[in-house]
């Protein structure tokens, strides 16, 4: 387990942020720098064989300064909502890929790659799916059709899929989703097989929150992944969402956890990173947040098969946190004005930038 870094680093991150803040905060200054020789976070990550990405969502794409930074700082994009079931199959058998297509086209224009998110999840399902009872054969056919239609549509356009999202409870038991209750735990292996049939080249992941540290929930994924690999089920990676909160403490066993999944022959990725705090934000909280972002980045760099990091959108302006956690926020490395926070500089330093 990697030891906590010296507190002196906190002061260093703050000093760098304050020193550079006067000349490099706000979209105009950042645009000037991007036209110079300063490497982006994605550039720095690529030097380590990693990617550095951001989630985004369709309503945000009318914000030109936001879109410009999204297109220049990152080399991967994850659609926050546009590929979920409610958006892609709003009526049974009627598919609408327009939202996902918009983000795929944006990524292509910016020479970025797209992470597909997500094929099977208990949440954000259309009413036609949740509003009735299904027999196991009926739901199995519906699930297979949905997965394969979407994966085929995006074949060659995404590099990875979060196939099954949030399958376990905190204690490591299976979440009682409509899929689990009707089909049993075998729906996970089936979903992976069906996705692989539809696109044999795409990387297939299981993805969840609160699995950053070694514990009951991550143990459940480790056990499942080991079983799936032993059966030859096409599973290529584990996505650790990394939605963290300062008040709950840093997952100090993250690096060990990444490493044990690597030993199974799996890639790992930090897929939905944000680090929220109880508002108001203070210099002390921002410094602690910066330290955590640094530690997360260094943990990924320390494990060869940790392939990359994705922020769950890069700016507080479009963070999901305040709407879901009242009184909390300031979770991302850019503020609401697209200015760089101490967390940005901490990530940059961890990646070897200056």
Q: What is the DSSP letter of 315?
A: B
Q: How far is CA 183 from CA 90, 171, 187, in A?
A: 22, 21, 6
How many Cβ atoms sit within 10 Å of the Cβ of residue 328?
Answer: 17
Tell me which long-range contacts 152-155 makes (C-beta under 8 A, separation of at least 24). 152/198, 152/199, 153/95, 153/97, 154/83, 154/97, 154/100, 154/104, 154/114, 154/116, 154/199, 155/198, 155/199, 155/202
Burial of 231 (0-12, 13-18, 19+ CB in 10 A): exposed
Tell which residue, 202, 204, 213, has the closest CA to residue 172. Answer: 213
- Identify the bridge partners of residue 270 per DSSP, sorted by sequence position: 240, 309
Q: Which of 272, 291, 298, 349 is catalytic?
A: 272
Q: What's the CA gap between 72 and 192, in Å, rounded?
A: 33
Catalytic-labelled residue, pool 166, 212, 255, 291: 166
Burial (CB count <10 Å: 0-12, 13-18, 19+), residue 128: middle
What are the structure tokens assigned to 253, written together? 């066993």
First to last CA, the chain: 27
* Annotated catalytic residue 272: yes
Residue 309 CA to residue 59 CA, distance in Å, equals: 23
Let me know if 166 is a catalytic residue.
yes
Active site residues: 166, 272
């Amino acid at each position: 387990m990697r030891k906590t870094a010296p507190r002196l680093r906190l002061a260093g991150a703050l000093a760098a942020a304050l020193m550079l803040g006067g000349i490099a905060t706000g979209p105009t200054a950042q645009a000037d720098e991007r036209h110079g020789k300063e490497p982006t976070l994605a550039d720095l990550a690529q030097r380590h064989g990693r990617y550095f990405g951001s989630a985004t969502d369709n309503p945000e794409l009318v914000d030109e300064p936001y879109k410009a930074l999204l297109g220049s700082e990152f080399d991967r994009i994850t659609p926050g909502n546009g590929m979920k079931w409610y958006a892609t199959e709003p009526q049974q058998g009627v598919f609408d890929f327009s939202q996902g297509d918009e983000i795929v086209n944006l990524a292509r224009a910016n020479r970025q790659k797209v992470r597909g998110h997500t094929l099977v999840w208990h949440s954000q399902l259309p009413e036609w799916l949740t509003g009735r009872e299904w027999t196991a054969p009926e739901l199995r056919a519906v699930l297979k059709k949905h997965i394969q239609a979407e994966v085929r549509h995006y074949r060659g356009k995404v590099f990875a899929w979060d196939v099954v999202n949030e399958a376990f409870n905190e204690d490591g038991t299976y979440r009682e989703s409509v899929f689990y209750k009707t089909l049993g735990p075998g729906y996970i292996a089936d979903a992976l097989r069906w996705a692989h049939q539809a696109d044999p080249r795409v990387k297939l992941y299981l993805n969840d929150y609160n699995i950053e540290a070694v514990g009951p929930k991550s143990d459940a994924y480790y056990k499942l992944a080991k079983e799936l690999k032993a059966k030859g089920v096409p599973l290529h990676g584990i996505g650790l969402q990394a939605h963290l909160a300062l008040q709950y403490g840093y997952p100090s066993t993250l690096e060990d956890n990444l490493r044990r999944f690597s030993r199974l022959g799996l890639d790992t990725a930090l897929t939905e990173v944000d680090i929220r705090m109880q508002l108001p934000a203070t210099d002390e909280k921002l410094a602690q947040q910066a330290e955590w972002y640094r530690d997360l980045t260094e943990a990924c760099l320390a494990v060869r098969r940790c392939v990359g990091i994705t922020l769950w959108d890069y700016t507080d302006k479009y963070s999901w946190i305040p709407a879901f956690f009242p009184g909390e926020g300031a979770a991302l490395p850019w503020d609401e004005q697209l200015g760089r926070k101490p967390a940005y500089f901490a990530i940059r330093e961890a990646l070897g930038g200056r």
